[in-house]
Amino acid sequence: MSKQVWLNGELIPTEKATVSVFDHGLLYGDGVFEGIRAYNGQIFKLDSHLKRLYASAAAIRLEIPYEVDKLRQAVRDTLKANDRTDAYIRLCVTRGFGSLGLNPFLCKRATVFIIADDIKMFPSELYELGMEVIIAKTIRNPPASLSPAIKSMNYLNNILAKIEAIDAGVLEAIMLNIDGNVTEGSSENLFIVRNNTHGNPELTTPPVSAGVLEGITLSTVAQLATDAGIPISRNNLKPADLFNANEIFLTGTAAEIIPVTKIDAKPIGSGSPGPITQQLAKAYHHLVTTNPTED
């Protein structure tokens, strides 16, 4: 059976799912998107993803030509049409067909498409052994230039950091902001684990003001940590904080939870995935496979 893509209101075979070369999403990266996961036939945090999609679109004055209930059902229909129970779902909204000029308001109607397919961010063994990363020289876009709350289709800043990682022989890079503070990976949020003043482990992740996307997986992991009695804070981090951490892990819808055990060839903590990382990864896997609610 041919794979199906939902495009502008209808399901069509992948090979026929095309957009115009005059679409501003292609010409200028003018659009927004969400990456969503389905587990065991249930779409995890679908409502949260849709809420962020509409907020991102509103922030760039992009009108989505469908009510949220229509898109919610379209995501479900796309999953079903591809006979998938587990999938990575990409929901994209571009500015649509327009001219070669920048003026977005000459685009009459947004283009909307939904893909349900596989994704493999990192080799499976790295989830067990841990991953080596680098600190990128590419600086994260300042929030004053482009709000990190907007999940836009323009990922060139992130791609440049990813190229640095690949050139260094690793698969991911951690990006700093213009002030030298840690932000996130090229497509994942970051947590560190270190002992607090009482000698107990606590989590820290950079604040939104540092220039990070408020990840849905980040929020889920933060709640799992709170439920487990692990304190969590949002504070600026310097590279030295990374090197002095007991554990580091990255989170994202596509990546889920993956441990970082080496940065710039320097081991983090014991050099192996730590107990808090393993505990939260296990809790996250249990949540998404046994109770993957859409809220």
CATH number at residue 266: 3.20.10.10
Please write the tens of the pLDDT for every residue from 222-257: 999 999 999 999 999 999 999 999 999 999 999 999
Q: In the annotation, is 282 catalytic?
A: no
Could you give the CA distance from residue 31 to residue 53 in angstroms, rounded to a whole number? 10
Asked whether residue 128 falls in the same domain as residue 244, the answer is: yes
Q: Which domain holds residue 222?
A: 124-290
Quick one: what percent of the chain has pLDDT higher than 70? 99
CATH code of the domain covering residue 110: 3.30.470.10
Considering the domain boundaries, does residue 251 fall inside one?
Answer: yes
Catalytic residue among 51, 70, 80, 151: 151
Bridge partners of 189?
Answer: 251
Could you give the CA distance from residue 64 to residue 9 in angstroms, rounded to a whole number? 12
Asked whether residue 64 falls in the same domain as residue 170, the answer is: no
Whole-structure pTM value? 0.95
Asked whether residue 145 falls in the same domain as residue 239, the answer is: yes
The total number of structural domains that make up the chain: 2
Please work out, in degrees rounded to the nearest 5, the angle formed at the alpha carbon of residue 218 by the alpha carbons of 162 and 208.
75
Please write the tens of the pLDDT for every residue from 1-26: 689 999 999 999 999 999 999 999 99
Q: Please report which residue ranges of the chain form alpha helices under DSSP H.
A: 24-28, 46-59, 68-81, 124-129, 156-167, 216-227, 239-243, 275-290
Bridge partners of 193?
Answer: 203, 247
Per the structure block, which two tokens stand in for 184? 């996130």
